[in-house]
């Protein structure tokens, strides 16, 4: 795995919200095809970190290089970068005034300037991939939460992204819908996509992760392969956290 | 005048809390219309009695000729409908211009650029604190001669600039009402700020903006009457002209007021239907 090209390289990254030190001295490398699962208590900076990876937040110091592009506030390449890096949000954030198909085609058509016919063909392919080809003409509000999140995944895939970021993709879902979304994510992982997933679904993490990351209070406290992470984490904090969520 | 006063309240209208019985009583269309008719009747009766005691000579039979005429050469619109068309034309042009300026000001304010929001806030404060009439005089007597535009252009600019300040606030509120997640989703598929506004944010803001925008159009139609002070041809100016020829001030002002009322009512009702349709289209 480590011979592969680095897709995300974070060195000495710090991030402040005003006086609040949200990310502290982060170092992390994600290689092509690698699946990284990030977990940690609420407020530890997980969302902030992955939002830096597609320029929804800017770091204040340190270095962040994504797919060879250096990311910093005001970088000209940021829009090209965002086309490479897909993001799936906890709240889905589908466009409610557009149908499912339009949600999937608007990016390729307006941003990548692909023809409507071709964009729709791609959209239908990815709707198939997330198992809801029959929902193409509905509006997001007519779908269940699980279906909406799968549309959101397909929307990112339609941009032909090389990296996918997930910010707690299942935590807004009813329990019976969590698995349909996780299944799609597992299938996506099998295609060799580079993925960074913030989640507390440890079953998914065990199945998919190459690397586990545990964050606390803005720091990465533990980075280790899942076997070690789940059986013998080096930090006491991480052990306590795992005990807590695995007890559920 | 608001449509909801007639009991045709929109789905998003938020009436003040009232006891259920009274609420049902006042919300019924029949009761509303009856109350409305009684009030209008009282006003009409009051002015009739007042005019009577002044010894006013009512000449309603002379009014229709200002609405339409059947001459030897055929049917002909009278002064009042011609004035109404001029008012509508003036209002439409001013409104379109006001919308363009208003959108620009709103975007400047939301741009996050220090200069941008300083310019926008300066403009808003300036316009908001000058009376409409003074603004009109400024455009007609000061800027008109300097830049060489006529009274019609001065009127349009005055109305557009005055209402753009109010419209920009409507845009700003409408844009802010769209959830920030929509911005993030638009950005994360690589959209530029312009594309995000154009395809994602503004189409969703329309829903929030329709009711206050309608109010603004009604407001604009009404305030367009002010340009009669510089004798621009429109409904109120024509009314004044007719009165100076005929001395029928009561009949003509009643008629003119009614024409404004009918136009703005039709507009409000039309938009409340549009609003319902929009709500259904978006399925939420
Ligand atoms: N826009 C902001 N302004 C100020 N502080 C913020 C902002 N966004 C996040 N924070 C703070 O930064 C810290 C990290 O937030 P973040 O959302 O990254 O945490 P998280 O690990 O994703 O938590 P959760 O599990 O609750 O989603 C929190 O203390 C939060 O209050
Ligand atoms: Mg979070």
Query: Is the domain of B94 the same as that of B160?
Result: yes
Residue A169's H or E segment, with its range, is none
Query: Is the domain of B34 the same as that of B94?
Result: no
pLDDT at B48: 82
Q: Residue B2: which residues within 8 A CB-CB, separation 6 or more?
A: B268
Nearest to A29 by CA among A248, A199, A194: A194
- Pick from A99-113, B45-59, B192-206: least confident: B45-59
SS3 state at A86 = strand
Query: Is the domain of B262 the same as that of B193?
Result: yes
Domain count, chain B: 2
pLDDT at A107: 94
Residue indicated by tokens 């005929």: B246
Q: Residue A162: which residues within 8 A CB-CB, separation 6 or more?
A: A7, A67, A84, A85, A193, A194
Q: Is residue B16 part of a domain?
A: no
Query: Is the domain of B110 the same as that of B195?
Result: yes
Q: Quick check: B147 contacting A, CB < 8 Å?
A: no
A72 CB near ligand 1 (under 6 Å): no
Question: Are B105 and B175 spatial neighbours (Cβ–Cβ below 8 Å)?
Answer: no
Query: Is the domain of B243 the same as that of B277?
Result: yes
CA separation for the pair B137, B46 (Å, rounded) = 36
CA separation for the pair A71, A61 (Å, rounded) = 11
Segment A111-129, tens digit of pLDDT: 999 999 999 999 999 999 9
* pTM for the model: 0.79
CA separation for the pair A202, A212 (Å, rounded) = 10
Encoding tokens for residue A212?
């586990």
Output the average pLDDT for chain B: 86
Can you state the percent helix, strand and coil of chain A, rounding each to 5?
A: 40, 25, 35
State which of A18, A23, A48 you would mutate to test the pocket of ligand 1, scoring each by most atoms of that ligand within 8 A of its C-beta: A48
Q: Is residue B67 part of a domain?
A: yes
State which of A18, A23, A45, A171 you would mutate to test the pocket of ligand 1, scoring each by most atoms of that ligand within 8 A of its C-beta: A45
pLDDT at B280: 58
Segment A32-44, tens digit of pLDDT: 999 999 999 999 9
Q: Give the alpha-carbon dihedral of B12, B16, B21, B27, to 10 degrees.
A: -50
Q: Is residue B62 part of a domain?
A: yes
Minimal-distance CA residue to ligand 1 atom 31:
A43
Segment A158-199, tens digit of pLDDT: 999 999 999 999 999 999 999 999 999 999 999 999 999 999
Q: Quick check: B28 contacting A, CB < 8 Å?
A: no
Nearest to A83 by CA among A121, A119, A111, A113: A111
Looking at B34, B50, B75, the residue that finishes a domain is: B75
Query: Is the domain of B61 the same as that of B82?
Result: no
Task: Please report, rounded to a whole number, the percentage of residues in chain B having pLDDT higher than 70.
Answer: 90
Ligand 1 atom showing the smallest separation from residue A20 Cα: 5
pLDDT at B8: 42
Rounded to 10 deg, the angle between the B29-54 and B20-27 helix axes is 60
Q: Please judge whether A54 and B188 are an interchain contact, meaning their C-beta atoms are less than 8 angstroms apart.
A: yes
Question: Are A98 and A106 spatial neighbours (Cβ–Cβ below 8 Å)?
Answer: yes
What residues pair up with B75 in beta bridges, in sequence order? B70
DSSP assignment letter at B142: I
Q: Taking 90 as the threshold, does the pLDDT of residue B35 lie above it?
A: no
pLDDT at B34: 85
pLDDT at A3: 61
A45 CB near ligand 1 (under 6 Å): yes
What residues pair up with A196 in beta bridges, in sequence order? A36, A165
**Half-sphere exposure in the Cβ direction for B204 (13 Å, CA):** 22
CA separation for the pair A195, B266 (Å, rounded) = 56
Rounded to 10 deg, the angle between the B249-281 and B202-223 helix axes is 180
CA separation for the pair B191, A80 (Å, rounded) = 10
A46 CB near ligand 1 (under 6 Å): yes
Q: What is the mean pLDDT of residues A53-78?
A: 88
SS3 state at B86 = helix
What interface predicted TM-score (ipTM) does this complex get? 0.91
Q: Is residue B211 part of a domain?
A: yes
Query: Is the domain of B114 the same as that of B67?
Result: no
Question: Are A242 and A41 spatial neighbours (Cβ–Cβ below 8 Å)?
Answer: no
pLDDT at B70: 84
A19 CB near ligand 1 (under 6 Å): no
Q: Is residue B13 part of a domain?
A: no
Q: Please judge whether B187 and A141 are an interchain contact, meaning their C-beta atoms are less than 8 angstroms apart.
A: no
State which of A18, A37, A46 you would mutate to test the pocket of ligand 1, scoring each by most atoms of that ligand within 8 A of its C-beta: A46
Q: Is residue B5 part of a domain?
A: no
Looking at B15, B47, B75, the residue that finishes a domain is: B75
Question: Are A114 and A167 spatial neighbours (Cβ–Cβ below 8 Å)?
Answer: no
Nearest CA in chain B to A90: B181
Segment A114-168, tens digit of pLDDT: 999 999 999 999 999 999 999 999 999 999 999 999 999 999 999 999 999 999 9
Looking at B75, B92, B110, the residue that finishes a domain is: B75
Query: Is the domain of B60 the same as that of B84?
Result: no
pLDDT at A129: 92
pLDDT at B282: 55
Q: What is the mean pLDDT of residues A10-21?
A: 95
Query: Is the domain of B198 the same as that of B271?
Result: yes
Q: Is residue B19 part of a domain?
A: no
Query: Is the domain of B173 the same as that of B217?
Result: yes
Segment B129-157, tens digit of pLDDT: 999 999 999 999 999 999 999 999 999 99
| Ligand lying nearest the CA atom of residue A213 | 1
Segment B194-216, tens digit of pLDDT: 999 999 999 999 888 888 998 89
pLDDT at B283: 46
Query: Is the domain of B50 the same as that of B145?
Result: no
For A214, phi and psi rounded to 5 degrees? -115, 125
Q: Taking 70 as the threshold, does the pLDDT of residue B3 lie above it?
A: no
Residue indicated by tokens 């994360």: B188
Q: Quick check: B25 contacting A, CB < 8 Å?
A: no
User: The domain containing residue B90 runs over which residues?
Assistant: 77-283
Q: What is the mean pLDDT of residues B232-238?
A: 90
Q: What is the mean pLDDT of residues A20-40?
A: 95
pLDDT at B57: 82
Exposed e or buried b per residue across B96-118, where buried means at least 16 C-beta atoms within 10 angstroms of its C-beta: ebbbebbbebbbbbbeeeeeeee
pLDDT at B1: 42
Which is more confidently placed, B199 or A4? B199
CATH code of the domain in which B124 resides = 1.10.3720.10
Q: Taking 90 as the threshold, does the pLDDT of residue B111 lie above it?
A: no
Q: Tell me which of A57, A79, A91, A93 to substitute to probe the interface with B (most B C-beta atoms closer than 10 Å).
A: A93
Q: Please judge whether B181 and A56 are an interchain contact, meaning their C-beta atoms are less than 8 angstroms apart.
A: no
Q: Residue B236: which residues within 8 A CB-CB, separation 6 or more?
A: B83, B87, B225, B228, B256
Q: Is residue B251 part of a domain?
A: yes
pLDDT at B14: 52
Nearest CA in chain B to A102: B199
Query: Is the domain of B276 the same as that of B187?
Result: yes
């Amino acid at each position: 795995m480590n011979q592969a090209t680095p897709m995300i390289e974070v060195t000495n990254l710090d991030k402040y919200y005003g006086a609040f030190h949200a990310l502290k001295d982060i170092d992390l490398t994600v290689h092509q095809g690698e699946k990284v699962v990030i977990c940690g208590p609420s407020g530890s900076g997980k969302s902030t970190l992955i939002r830096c990876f597609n320029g929804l937040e800017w770091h204040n110091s340190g270095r962040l290089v994504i797919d060879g592009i250096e990311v910093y506030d005001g970088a000209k390449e940021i829009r090209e970068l965002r086309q490479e890096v897909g993001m799936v949000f906890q709240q889905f954030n589908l466009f409610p005034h557009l149908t499912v198909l339009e949600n999937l085609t608007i990016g390729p058509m307006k941003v990548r300037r692909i023809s409507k016919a071709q964009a729709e063909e791609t959209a239908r392919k990815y709707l198939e991939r997330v198992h809801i080809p029959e929902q193409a003409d509905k509006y997001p509000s007519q779908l269940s939460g699980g279906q909406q999140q799968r549309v959101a995944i397909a929307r990112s895939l339609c941009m032909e992204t090389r990296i996918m970021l997930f910010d707690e993709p299942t935590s807004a879902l009813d329990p019976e819908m969590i698995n349909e979304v996780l299944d799609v994510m597992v299938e996506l992982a099998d295609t060799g996509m580079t993925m960074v997933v913030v989640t507390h679904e440890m079953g998914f993490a065990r199945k998919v992760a190459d690397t586990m990351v545990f964050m606390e209070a803005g720091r990465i406290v533990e980075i280790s392969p899942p076997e070690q992470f789940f059986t013998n984490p080096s930090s006491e904090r991480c052990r306590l956290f795992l005990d807590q969520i695995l007890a559920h | 005048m608001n449509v909801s006063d007639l009991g045709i309240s929109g789905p998003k209208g938020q009436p003040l809390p009232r006891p259920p019985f009274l609420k049902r009583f006042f919300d019924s269309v029949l009761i509303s219309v009856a109350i409305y008719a009684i009030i209008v009747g009282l006003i009409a009766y009051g002015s009739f009695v007042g005019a009577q005691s002044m010894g006013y000579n009512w000449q309603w039979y002379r009014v229709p000729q200002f609405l339409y005429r059947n001459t030897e050469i055929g049917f002909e619109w009278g002064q009042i409908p011609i004035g109404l068309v001029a008012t509508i034309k003036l209002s439409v042009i001013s409104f379109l211009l006001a919308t363009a300026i208003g959108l620009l000001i709103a975007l400047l304010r939301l741009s996050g650029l220090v200069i941008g929001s300083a310019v926008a806030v300066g403009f808003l404060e300036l316009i908001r604190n000058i009376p409409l009439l003074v603004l009109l005089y400024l455009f007609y007597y000061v800027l008109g001669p300097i830049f060489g535009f006529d009274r019609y252009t001065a009127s349009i600019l005055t109305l557009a600039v005055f209402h753009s300040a109010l419209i920009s606030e409507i845009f700003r509120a409408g844009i802010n009402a769209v959830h920030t997640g929509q911005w993030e989703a638009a950005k994360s598929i690589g959209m530029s700020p312009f594309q995000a506004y154009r395809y994602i944010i503004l189409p969703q803001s329309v829903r929030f903006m329709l009711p206050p925008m309608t109010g603004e159009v009604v407001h604009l139609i009404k305030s367009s009457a002010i340009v009669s002070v510089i004798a621009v041809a429109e409904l109120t100016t024509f009314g004044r002209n007719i009165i100076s020829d005929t001395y029928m001030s009561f009949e003509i002002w009643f008629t003119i007021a009614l024409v404004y009322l009918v136009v703005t009512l039709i507009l409000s009702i039309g938009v409340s239907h549009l609003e319902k349709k929009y709500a259904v289209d978006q399925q939420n």
